[in-house]
Amino acid sequence: KIAASVGLAVLAVVVLVKSYDKSSSSISNTNAILRGVPSVGRGYVATPRHILTNTLLKPSCVKDYHRSNPTRSAGIPVFAGGAFASPPKLKYFDARGAAEVIRYLFAASGADYEDYRYQFKMEGTFGQPGFKVIKEEFDADKASFKLPFQKVPVMEIEGQTYAQSKAIERYVAKQLGLFGKDDLEGLKIDMVCEQIRDIRDAWTKAKGYKMRPNMTDTSVATTVNTFFDTDLPTQMDMLQRLVADEGWFVGGSLSLADIQFYNFLNSAFGPAFAEKVDPILAKYPKLATIKEKVASDPGIKGWEEKRPQTQF
């Protein structure tokens, strides 16, 4: 009886796979059927091919996923590689930088990936003549054109290498169920993320395109103070108006937009200006709550506790 049941299940999935492959017009109907399938990662709805290849043909890829948060499909088996046939390889420097949002996405979903880090060392004093960064392995990969645009982060997926951090963030978020339940939610998530990038760019401009702004320069001090007195509060007000009733930027669960906002607050300003950001954030309780909820997410919290301690 068990063998017969498994056989019927395989046959049913094969039929779905064929209908899925047959034409793009059948995708929405197939996904509608699969809305009742338990989530993979957080909110991800598996395609027929994914169910076939990962559940029936690769039982070793299944692991138990127990979390205290009831919105996380607690106790439901999840694929160790999330929505990926095999764990992808993220390559970046041994730093948080432009790769940390991607790492947060994997941490929040519980999906596996390889966190490969190019080692580097700095000689001299940052910002002073003679300062240089030695990164031999990265330079060798760059010289041999292993990096599509000669920079990182990149992600290796099934033998192919893909670049551009924002493109990777969106792709990973979609695969792991952190990009909304439909295209319009995805559009809103993308909208929030791009606005956060605009705010970061405005801050970079305000501080004179320097990692550490020279506050003894009157013009720089003026633009920095204007940013915190006027520009950032204005942006925070607009962002707070977008927070959904459920307390997240989009829908009723964590998404790339929330993680992007959290990472922005934690990485853009540094200790020197954090004291300016905190009182501003306190005036926007919905945004402050998003920061607190992301920080308390079990996956995010676990990652921050175990990740390598780096200067950047």
172-197 tens-digit pLDDT: 999 999 999 999 999 999 999 999 99
- Residue 154 pLDDT exceeds 90: yes
Arithmetic mean of pLDDT over the chain: 81
- Of residues 24 and 258, which shows the higher confidence score? 258
The per-residue pLDDT for 214 is 87
Cα 292 to Cα 27, 85, 128, 203, 289, distances in angstroms: 37, 33, 38, 23, 5
Structural tokens at position 180: 């909304």
pLDDT exceeds 80 at position 78: no
Which own/partner pairs from 3-11 qualify as long-range (CB within 8 Å, at least 24 positions apart)?
6/56, 9/56, 10/52, 10/56
Q: What is the pTM of this model?
A: 0.75
Identify the three-state secondary structure at position 264. helix
- Measured at the CA of 69, the angle between CA 68 and CA 73, to 5 degrees, comes to 100
Residue 91, beta-bridge partner list: 116, 154
pLDDT of 13: 43
Rounded Cα distance, 183 and 284, in Å: 28
Rounded to the nearest 5°, which phi and psi values hold at 293? Answer: -70, -40
Is the model's pLDDT at 79 over the cut of 80? no
pLDDT digits (tens, 9 = 90+) for 61-77: 322 332 333 233 322 22
Q: Does the structure show a pLDDT above 90 at 203?
A: yes
Q: In this structure, what DSSP letter does residue 153 have?
A: -
- Between 243 and 32, the more confident residue is 243
Query: Does 290 score more than 50 pLDDT?
Result: yes
Burial class for 60, CB neighbours closer than 10 Å (0-12, 13-18, 19+): exposed
Non-local (6+) Cβ contacts of 217 within 8 A are 208
What does the pLDDT look like over 15-36, one tens digit per residue? 444 444 444 333 333 333 333 3
Query: Region 27-46: what's the mean pLDDT?
Result: 38
pLDDT value at residue 7: 57
Rounded mean pLDDT of 273-278? 92
CA angle (125, 197, 195) in 5-degree steps: 155
Distance of CA 115 to the CA centre of its chain: 13
Q: What is the pLDDT of residue 2?
A: 55
Count of all residues that appear for the chain in the document: 312
The alpha carbon of residue 232 and the mean position of all alpha carbons in its chain are separated, in whole angstroms, by 23
- pLDDT for position 204: 95
Preceding peptide of 59 cis, ω within 30°:
no
Q: 17-26, 148-157, 210-219 — which is least confidently predicted? A: 17-26
> Crossing angle, helix 100-109 and helix 298-306, to 10 degrees?
130
The residue among 195 and 8 whose pLDDT is bigger is 195
**Please, are residues 91 and 154 in contact by the beta-carbon 8 Å criterion?**
yes
Which stretches within 66-182 are classed as H helix? 100-109, 136-143, 165-175
pLDDT reported for residue 305: 97
Beta-strand (E) ranges in 71-207?
Answer: 78-79, 89-93, 114-118, 121-123, 132-134, 154-157, 160-163
- The C-alpha atoms of residue 132 and residue 128 are separated, in whole angstroms, by 9
Q: How confident is the model at residue 4 (pLDDT cuts 50, 70, 90)?
A: low
Report the distance separating Cα 220 and Cα 207, nearest Å: 6
